[in-house]
Chain A
Amino acid sequence: MSFELPKLAYAYNALEPYIDAMTMEIHHTKHHAAYTNNLNNAIKDSENENKSIEEILKNISKYPMVVRNNGGGYYNHNVFWEIMSPNGGGEPKGDLLQAILKDFGSFEKFKESFNNAAATRFGSGWAWLVNQNGKLVISSTPNQDNPLMDVAEIKGTPILAIDVWEHAYYLKYQNRRPEYINAFWNVIDWNLVAKRFV
Chain B
Amino acid sequence: MIFELPNLPYASDALEPMISKKTLEFHHDKHHAAYVTNLNNLVKGSKFEEADLETIIKYADGGIFNNGAQVWNHTFYFEQFGKDKIHMLKNGAFSDAVYRDFGSLDIFKDKFSNASKTLFGSGWTWLVKKPDGTLDIVQTSNAANPMRDGLKPILTCDVWEHAYYIDYQNKRADYIENFWKIIDWAVIAKRY
Contacts and interface: CB of A to CB of B under 8 A. Distances in A.
Interface stretch (B1-9, B71-79, B115-123): B115-123
A132 interface: no
A174 B26 contact: yes
Interface stretch (B11-19, B44-52, B129-137, B157-165): B157-165
B120 A170 contact: no
A123 B161 contact: no
A175 B120 contact: no
B162 A123 contact: no
Contacts of B161: 124, 165-167, 170
A124 B122 contact: yes
B30 A143 contact: no
A67 to B, nearest CB: 12
Nearest to B144: A123
Contact of A175 (B143, B162, B170): B162
Contacts of B121: 123-125, 142-144, 165
A79 B189 CA distance: 48
Interface residues of A, number: 20
The number of chain B residues touching the other chain, given as a range, is 10 to 19
B105 interface: no
B165 A122 contact: no
Interface in A135-184: 142-144, 165-167, 170-171, 174-175
B169 interface: yes
Interface string B30-49: 11001000000000000000
B113 interface: no
Contacts of B31: 175
A34 B170 contact: yes
A58 interface: no
B122 to A, nearest CB: 4
A37 interface: no
Contacts of A31: 170
Nearest to A120: B63
B142 interface: yes
A115 interface: no
Interface string B137-173: 0000111000000000000000011100110011000
A175 B123 contact: no
B26 A166 contact: no
Nearest to B165: A170
11 contacts: A26-B169, A123-B143, A165-B121, A165-B161, A166-B160, A166-B161, A166-B162, A166-B165, A174-B30, A175-B30, A175-B31
The 6 A-B pairs at the shortest CB distance, nearest first, are namely A166-B161, A123-B142, A123-B122, A143-B121, A170-B165, A175-B30
Interface of A: 26, 30-31, 34, 65, 69, 122-125, 142-144, 165-167, 170-171, 174-175
Given A124-B122, A166-B161, 9 more contacts: A69-B120, A123-B142, A123-B160, A143-B121, A144-B121, A165-B121, A166-B162, A170-B165, A170-B166
